[in-house]
Structure 1
């Protein structure tokens, strides 16, 4: 028991010292604000190599409690070191993506297409960050590392900057946001048949049509019921000014229009 403990501790300390020396250039690189090329793949490969070496060196003691203890400690150490390097680079990546977005705003001209161009710049910065973050994360040992919070912070920051620039352009009179004219269509259950037929009993065919004046505003348009043999149709009153107000659908006694046959 005592022998296995000492051997496991010796292997553990030796591998940590070796691993520390190998990742020292990475730490220097991160401290200088640079990104490590292919960090995700290389860090995963390095960790896999050291895990394999730990297992091979202590294969005779793999069922010993000491082995399990030091193996768990070793995995936690590797995970902690790689995670620290990952998030330090992720913070730097967020800065680079934000600066890239700021630079992309400069050539954008203030025209009627400015909002579209700004949205494209935001999307480009977001894609840049996501692509690089995936490369940093890797796919095996560090697959549980997350960059979602940093991504949300980045998107929030660049959208705030974009809004600030557009507002500044508006205040200077350079850019005016184009208002969109809303289109509103509504139906009411008290309306007998909004398209000239009762939807409960009658259906449109290719030969059917309904009267509609496209030049009349919806708020000013009124409809009346026209008796046509045994059916009733809704028509625009602007087409027939001779109709009496009794024929209008919207009045206090609208139901009498359908009870006078």
Structure 2
């Protein structure tokens, strides 16, 4: 069964909208763990519009499950933040400046040498590394050459096409996963996975290790409650 890592960026967005500490980001993270989540994900950005750098230190001090920090390793502050906190996993995402949300994976062929350097830096600090990639076999092959431990499949295209033709939408992801298995890369996935499309995705992807879900899960929790929502997502991941 793939692990569920809850991305709590949206909790930080809500907190920041009024100042103060309501909702309490650390308490929400601990509650997510208590309700069954096997990991907590954050994605700090340079403008700190949701997760603040201090949040990372505060969370690292209390999280008992796996801590996953996503972000752009071309930002030195991000690199320093990750090395200072030593999470279980760092996920390298090629965000552009001012980007609202992640919308593409790395070109692992074009940026192979750079990614190899960054992967080596984080792995030397004892941090597992995952590279955010599109479901393209060549990008999976390129990722393997960087020395990364895992890839994270960018799943927006699957989610967008799920209701029109889920069998067709999943095909590139299955091909990418099979190549990753062949190359002994661990497989994570995330972006727009939700209660509707998660079960089919998890059933279809061989050796899926982890999904990172934030926006949809937090939105569902407004109606269903956080504990119930986490349990529903976990149920979708059961094979």
Q: Structure 1-normalised TM-score?
A: 0.21
Larger Rg, first or second structure (1 or 2): 1
**More helix, by proportion:** 1
Q: Structure 2-normalised TM-score?
A: 0.23
Comparing both chains, which one has the higher relative contact order based on Cα–Cα distances under 8 Å and sequence gaps of 6 or more? 2
**More strand, by proportion:** 2
